[in-house]
Amino acid sequence: MLLLHTIKPNKGATKKRKRVGRGNASGHGTYSGRGQKGQKSRTGGKSGLKRKGMKQILLQTPKLRGFKSDKPKNQVVNLSVLNNNFKDRDKINPGSLLKAGLIDTMELPVKILGKGELQLKNLEFSDVKISQSAAEQIKKTGGKLKAEDKK
């Protein structure tokens, strides 16, 4: 059960801070991670004293992680939304959906999903992808689908 006193950060989200100079058993004793002699080993020593070359700069810059797919994401329209924005025997394509304000752009593909009940009769679909559950409902109401639309 999630309560105020049981909230914790996700596993791996927090890191323990390095406690230096607390004995050799800690792994950061004796020289406390500063090496032996030199300006950088002493207090008040400047860390950015040495001029860094291009390789050092490259190694220090954070890399962009993750993956971004080249495949465009479908713009989703549910059958229940079509009831409010169209009439019987209307032609439904990306242009009509854009005009109705159901999609944002014509550049990305459109997919009709079967959430909700379709009450309109004889709708004609073109240039859109249609889920299997949506296709069944459209056929029941006498709608027309093009062969390449189903996916």
Q: What is the rounded distance in angstroms from the CA atom of residue 78 to the CA atom of residue 101?
A: 13
**Stated pTM of the model:** 0.53
CATH of 75-149, one of 3.100.10.10, 3.40.50.280, 3.50.20.10, 3.30.1180.20: 3.100.10.10
Report domain extents, the chain: 75-149
**Mean pLDDT, 10 residues at a time, the chain of 151 residues:** 91 91 91 87 71 79 86 91 87 91 92 89 90 90 73 57
Q: What is the pLDDT of residue 14?
A: 93
